[in-house]
Amino acid sequence: MTESSYVSGVGRKPLIYQTIGKALSGAAARWGDREALVVRHQDVRMTWAELDRAVTDYAAGLLSLGLVPGDRVGVWAPNCAEWVLAQFATAKAGLIQVNINPAYRLHELEYALNRVDCKALITATRFKSSHYLEMLAHLLPELAHSNPGQLQAAKAPELKFVIRFGEEPSDGTLNFGDLAHAWGARDCRRLAELAQELQPDDPINIQFTSGTTGSPKGATLTHFNILNNGFFVGEAMNFTEHDRLCIPVPFYHCFGMVMGNLNCVTHGATMVIPNDGFDPRLTLQAVQEEKCTALYGVPTMFIAELDHPEFRKFDLSSLRTGIMAGASCPIEVMRRVVSDMRMGQVTIAYGMTETSPVSFQSSVDDPMDRRVSTVGRVHPHVQVKIVDDRGRTVPRGERGEICTRGYNVMLGYWGDAEKTQEVLDAAGWMHTGDLGTLDAEGYLNIVGRVKDMVIRGGENIYPREVEEFLYMHPAIQDVAVFGVPDKKYGEELCAWVRLKEGQQATEDDIRAFCRERIAHFKIPRYIRFVHEFPMTVTGKMQKFLMRERMIQDLDLKIQKTA
């Protein structure tokens, strides 16, 4: 009898039924004198005991404002010490932290604040080309004439507090640093009561999942969701209190705050933050000087580090493990990470924000061919099945949509029952929209997105398959394949190609490489050479934008020749 594509992760360790606040206090009790947080660009170093005390002060400070459990608090800032303090302080106070992409501009910020009715916004003053206070002045002109806590803004009616980083005064705002000293005995007592009242199943985090589709939805996650996912991510890498994790990925995404920060708090490992935004040299320098044992990144980050002109000057001998995730991981990049960065136990992880995020991960002792060709096996306490377009589980080895069920599945999209029902079925299965295959040993291979599948003249084409083939071309550094409309075939393939530095190739060269090697209908009709791709901050290619640009360009060409 053919085995079905269903797996259930067996856990050697039980799930942790605990709030994030209690987990932090537990870390302070167990590893109090060990270094918890290193933020290099701010010259901040804190032990677990110091971090817990500071978080407690900030949590009491938030309560002193009149905020109550369940209130939503936006955090709009790059990676910094304050972000970590806000993450744990909101959790201790029972406030729901809303992660706001630091790259957001006014329209996106307004949408995020109002989509979940934020009552408070914690913000940096600026980051790169974003001057947050100037943008807030445009969005909230009432701020200039408001007392802190009494904001009545036309464009964000529920927002009452704007809390800014830094020590300078700003009209209508509070300074984040002052919160640590703003509380009184009553707030302290209330915080102690909340430690007993808050439940692991309470919502604690909202993350917007615009991702590759362009329609932001607020995935609502609980203490139980993300604390356990962080823990089991670390377990897959054999993490202990002796590990030091370099985190150059953004905190606003699960990769940073869950797989990074919550992994560390559940294992007593050190969070090392190299900079407010990604910089390959500063990341390599942090690994060397902080003796990091693990490093995170999306493929583009690892490529930038490996190709940095000073790469060979850095001593990376302390590295043991880490995670490459967020996008498909080219096999050659993975091999270079193992050999040149000495990350012999590097792992690959797969998941999505709605699943907290990880549901599959390779282990440190998986054979290299498995680590470079699959995303590993199912996480402990998680179920996964592969289904066809009628919802039936397919046999092992057959393509289908990946569905996930277990502790890691979100509560739903905040305030959007309709969108929630589109992805969460009555049996609790999260329909990921990703296409994959499970082999006989339970390793998962991602073959594309359900919506990415291209149907050309009745032939189903999976862009991921074509991309993996094109990566074999010696001149190609990176590639994205997607479909565009076609009058004759319904859809045609288009490939955006980025060549390796110093390499040259033409469209005919690429097509010649494909001929006799792959079926004719899989050969891209349109090929565009680019220097970069439109991507999310977490390294996922936004194919919908590439598709829109090609449609526009091709339409223009048609009009000119008509």
The pLDDT, as a whole number, for residue 67 is 98
Instruction: Give the integer Cα–Cα distance in Å for 349 and 258.
Output: 13
pLDDT tier at 327, thresholds 50, 70, 90? low
The pLDDT, as a whole number, for residue 213 is 46
Dihedral over alpha carbons 32, 35, 41, 44 (to 10 degrees): 40
CB 429, CB 403: distance < 8 Å: yes
The pLDDT, as a whole number, for residue 562 is 25
Tokens of 458: 């009745």
DSSP state for residue 166 in the 8-state scheme: S
Distance from the Cα of residue 399 to its chain's centroid: 25
Does 557 have pLDDT greater than 70? no
Does 515 have pLDDT greater than 50? yes
Maximum average pLDDT range among 186-195, 474-483, 542-551: 186-195
**Per-residue buried b or exposed e for 368-399, using 16+ beta carbons within 10 Å of the residue's own CB:** eebbbbbbbbbbbbbbbbbbeeeeeebebeeb
Dihedral over alpha carbons 111, 113, 115, 117 (to 10 degrees): -160
The pLDDT, as a whole number, for residue 215 is 59
Range from 150-154, 384-388, 422-426, 536-540 carrying the lowest mean pLDDT: 536-540
Does 545 have pLDDT greater than 80? yes
Average pLDDT over every residue of 290-313? 94
List domains and CATH numbers for the chain. 6-14+209-449 (3.40.50.12780), 48-199 (3.40.50.980), 454-561 (3.30.300.30)
Does 356 have pLDDT greater than 50? yes
User: Where is pLDDT greater, at 471 or 214?
Assistant: 471
Please compute, for residue 403, the number of CA atoms within 13 A of its CA located in the half-sphere on the CB side.
24
CA dihedral sign of residues 179, 183, 188, 193: negative
Of 339, 329, 94, nearest to 192 by C-alpha is 94
pLDDT tier at 485, thresholds 50, 70, 90? confident
Tokens of 78: 């790059």
Of 23, 50, 54, 55, nearest to 36 by C-alpha is 50
Of 194, 98, 123, 108, nearest to 415 by C-alpha is 98
Does 214 have pLDDT greater than 70? no
Does 473 have pLDDT greater than 50? yes
Neighbours of 474 (CB within 10 A): 8
Range from 25-34, 299-308, 391-400, 423-432 carrying the lowest mean pLDDT: 299-308
Range from 52-61, 276-285, 299-308, 455-464 carrying the lowest mean pLDDT: 455-464
In this predicted model, what pLDDT tens digit does every residue of 380-405 receive, in sequence order? Answer: 999 999 999 899 999 999 999 999 99
Does 466 have pLDDT greater than 70? yes
Instruction: Give the integer Cα–Cα distance in Å for 19 and 89.
Output: 12
Does 501 have pLDDT greater than 60? yes
The pLDDT, as a whole number, for residue 544 is 86
Rounded to the nearest integer, the mean pLDDT of the chain is: 92
Average pLDDT over every residue of 427-436? 94
